[in-house]
Structure 1
Amino acid sequence: MGFVDPLKDLSVPEKKQAKFECTITKDVSKVIWFRGTEIVTPSPKYEIIDDGKKHMLIINNCEFDDEAQYTIEALGQKSAAQLMVEGMRLSFVQPLQDQTVKEGNSARFDLELSHENVPVVWYRNEVKLHVSRTVLIHVEGKRHTLEMRTLSLDDTCQIKAEAKGIYSMAKLTVVGNCASSFPFHFCFISH
C-alpha cells in the first residue's frame, strides 16, 4: 500500500475552509488523522470523509490556532502536510503608554488590538492582576482598559498586557505629593 496522491501543504484565508485530500493504492475503511501528535476526531470543526481509496480532512472556519502539521496514517503508512492560515495577525494597534501619576490618584492604561473578542491578561510586575476595589478592567470591542485607583508610592511598577502570546508593556511611576507653598519644598512620605 502507498500514496498515489500524498497530502499537500495548504494555505487558506482566515475563517475559510481547508481541505486535505489524498488517494491511496487500495481501499482502506479506517484511517487516522493527526494534528501534530493529537488524533483528530469528527466535530463541527473537523469533517472526515473516507471514500474507499480517497480520504479527506476538512477543517472549517480556520483560525491561526489551526496552523499545524496534519498527518494521515493508513496501514502503517503516513503522509503529512502543513496548514498555514493567511490573514491579519493579531497586533497592538495602540500599545500601552508609560504613565506618571501623583500619589492618591488613578492611572488608566488603554490599548487597542487588531482583532475583537481576544482576551487580554493584565500583569503588575509579572503578577496577574484581578479585578478588585482598586483595579478595574474594561473591554469594548478591540479596546481594553486597565484602571488602577488610589495609588501609593509602592504601586510604581511595570504593567504588562498579554493577548494570545503577544505583549505590550508600560511603566507606571507614582510620585509623592509635595507641598510647594514655601520657598523650600517639603515632601511628606508616609511609611
Structure 2
Amino acid sequence: MICISAKQTPSPGDGGRGRGLKPGGKGPSPPEEPFAGFKLKAVPLKFIKKLQDIVLTEAESIGSSAVFECEISPSTAITSWMKDGSNLRESPKHKFTSDGKDRKLNIIDVQLSDTGEYTCVAKNAGKEISCTAKLIVEELPVKWIKELEEETSPLKGQPLYMTCELNKERDVVWKRNGQILKNKAGKIAINVIGLGHAVTIQNSTEEDAGLYVCQVANQADVQTSTNVKVIEIIKDWLVKPLRDQHVKPKAAATFKCELYKDTPNWKWLKGETEIPPSDKIEMKKDGKELTLTIKNCQLDDVAEYAMEVEGCVYTAKLTLGEREAEILTPLSSMEVVEKEDVTFETEISEEDVPGEWKLKGVVLTRSPTCDIQAEGTKRRLILKNVQVDQSGEVSYQALNAITNAMLTVTGKTCSWTPGTHFPLCFVVVPYEIKT
C-alpha cells in the first residue's frame, strides 16, 4: 500500500514575523489577537484508516462484490478513485460511498479483469494525498465440467454429435486422428454454446470414425477425447449361409459361409462356446469367405455350430451317419490238398471295426483248426488240416463291406512205383441184395 501525505502549510500570522517592523510605523495594521489568546490551525489532511489489499479466489468472486474502505480527515475532503492510474467513474460496476470520514469503493460482480491497483485520492484546501491497495483475484485452473463420452457409436447415415463443457470460457481446438477439424458446409459444424463446445457431423460414414480430441487452445494438457465407431445396420451379414453337415464317422465336416462385408468381429461357436484352434479344428479366412473344418468326426462332435459376426448369430448342425468300411484288399480264392493248412487275408479301411468270417455260410469261430487274426487293418483266417468237404465259399464282412473267395480242397491221389510197397486200399462198393 502507498500513502502519500500532504506538505505542511505555514500558519496565518507567520508572514510578518521576523521582518523588523518598528512600532508605530506605517504599514498594515497587525491582526487582532485571537480571543482569549487561542490561534486557529488548519486540520491536517490525512488517512486515519488506510486501504487494505483484497484477495479473492475466482470461485469466491463470481457474483460477489469487493469493497475498499478508508477513513480520511478532515471529513470535508473531496475524494476520487483510480484503477491502475486511470480515473474511475461511478457506474453500475463501481459504486462510491462517502459518509463523514468514511470512503468506500464497491466493485460489483468481481471478475478476473477487475484485478489491479486501486487508489483513493483525497483533496482539501489545495492539498492532495492518496492511498493505494491491490485487488487480487486468484484464477482457478481450467478444467472440464463435462467430458466427451469414452466411446461414441452413431449409426451409419445418421448425424454424429459430440459435446463437452469447460468451467470457464476458453478457445478450443478439435482434432480427429491428430488432424485439426474445421467447419465444412453441409458436413461438419463446430459450435460454442456458453461454456459448452460441440461438433456435429452429418451423414456419418466409416471415414468419420476415429479418435476425436477437444483441446483447450495453448493448453495441450487440458483435453478430452472420444473414440468414434460408426455402426452400420446390416440385416443379413452372410451372403452364403451355413449349411447342415451330415458325415460318416471319422470323416471331416466343413462349414462354409461368405460375409456381406469384411470385418474382424467374427468367431465360430459350438453351442454357445467359442471354438479355439487345435489339431482337430481348422479355421480359414480368405477375403470374405470363412471355413470351419472338424476332422475325424466322432459322436462328441455332434452339436449345433454357429458363426457369430458383429453380434449376429447364424447356426447349422453337424450329424453323423452310420459308420462304413471299405475293402482295400479283397480275398483271393485258394486251392489246397486235404489235410493241409490254408490262409485267407484281406484288408479294410477301419482298423477298430470287428468283422465276421464265414465258410459255406456258417460263421467261423476260433478253434484248434480255425485261427482268426487281426493286425491293424489286416484281417486273416487260417484253416488247419482242411478236408475235402470244406470246399466252398469263404467270406469276410465288416459293417457294410464284404469280400468273398472260393476254397477248393482236393483229395490225395494214389500212385505206385514197381518195387515199392503200396498201401492197401479198401474200397467200399455199395450193392443191393435182391430176393
Report TM bin, short chain: 0.5 to 0.7
CA distance change for structure 1 residues 138 and 55 in 2, over 3 Å: closer, same or farther? closer
- Where in structure 1 are there 5+ consecutive unaligned residues? 186-191
| Deviation, structure 1 residue 99 | 5.9
Q: Deviations over 1:131-175 (max 9, x none)?
A: 842233374x8754322334647x97743356xxx9434377799
1:28 aligns with 2:83: no
Contact 2:143 2:222 in 1 (8 A): no
Partner Cα separation in structure 2 for residue 130 and residue 41 of structure 1: 43
Counterpart of 1:29, as a letter, is I
1:46 aligns with 2:94: yes
* Partner of residue 162, structure 2: 109
| Deviation, structure 1 residue 28 | 3.2
| Deviation, structure 1 residue 41 | 2.2
Number of residues paired by the alignment? 174
Partner Cα separation in structure 1 for residue 52 and residue 181 of structure 2: 42
* Partner of residue 240, structure 2: none
Partner Cα separation in structure 2 for residue 144 and residue 48 of structure 1: 39
* Partner of residue 47, structure 2: 3
Picking from 206, 223, 228, the partner of 1:168 is: 223
1:146 aligns with 2:146: no
Picking from 28, 33, 56, the partner of 2:104 is: 56
1:17 aligns with 2:99: no
Partner Cα separation in structure 2 for residue 65 and residue 128 of structure 1: 31
* Partner of residue 69, structure 1: 116
* Partner of residue 262, structure 2: 180
* Partner of residue 145, structure 2: 93
Q: Deviations over 1:42-76 (max 9, x none)?
A: 211111224564321111233x4255134114235
Partner Cα separation in structure 1 for residue 55 and residue 197 of structure 2: 31
CA distance change for structure 1 residues 56 and 3 in 2, over 3 Å: closer, same or farther? same
Contact 1:161 1:169 in 2 (8 A): no
| Deviation, structure 1 residue 79 | 1.6
SS at match of 2:286: coil
Counterpart of 1:6, as a letter, is K
CA distance change for structure 1 residues 93 and 60 in 2, over 3 Å: closer, same or farther? same
Normalization by structure 1: what TM-score? 0.59
SS at match of 1:96: coil
Contact 1:4 1:25 in 2 (8 A): yes
Percent of pairs with identical residues: 15
The structure with the largest strand share of the pair is 1
- Where in structure 2 are there 5+ consecutive unaligned residues? 6-45, 122-127, 233-260, 264-284, 289-435
